[in-house]
Amino acid sequence: MYYLEDKETEAYKGIDYTIVVWVNNSDKTIESIYFHDQGIYLNGDMITPVTNYYVNSADRDKYRVNVQLAIKEILNYSDTAKFPAISEWAFEIENGTVIVQSTVTARYL
């Protein structure tokens, strides 16, 4: 089994949307494909499509805008809200639910 903590993949730890492909050197066939720690192709069979875990850039942008609008609705001083660049947002799909993580700086009182 593969994990991002494996010695061979240590350099990829923390990189968004890491896809690791294991290739058999002798016959150049693909043995397995992992998206983060999720096996998506193992022993010649697709286990699950990568879209079960991956949020594409168009959807990331939509989620980011929707989250910003929702946060601004609950702030007392929404015009002071400052959100980071898209590169500082995290998106993942877990059990069919899209999880969006980021920060906001805004006036509180």
- pLDDT 10s digits, 41-91: 998 899 988 888 888 889 999 999 999 999 999 999 999 999 999 989 988
Q: What is the DSSP string of the chain?
A: ---TTSGGGGGGTT-TT-EEEEE-TTT--EEEEEETTEEEEETTEE-S-GGGT---HHHHHHHHHHHHHHHHHH-TTGGG-B---GGG-EEEEETTEEEEE---B----
Where are the chain's structural domains?
A: 7-50, 57-101
Q: What pLDDT sits at residue 87? A: 87
Higher pLDDT, 7 or 29: 29
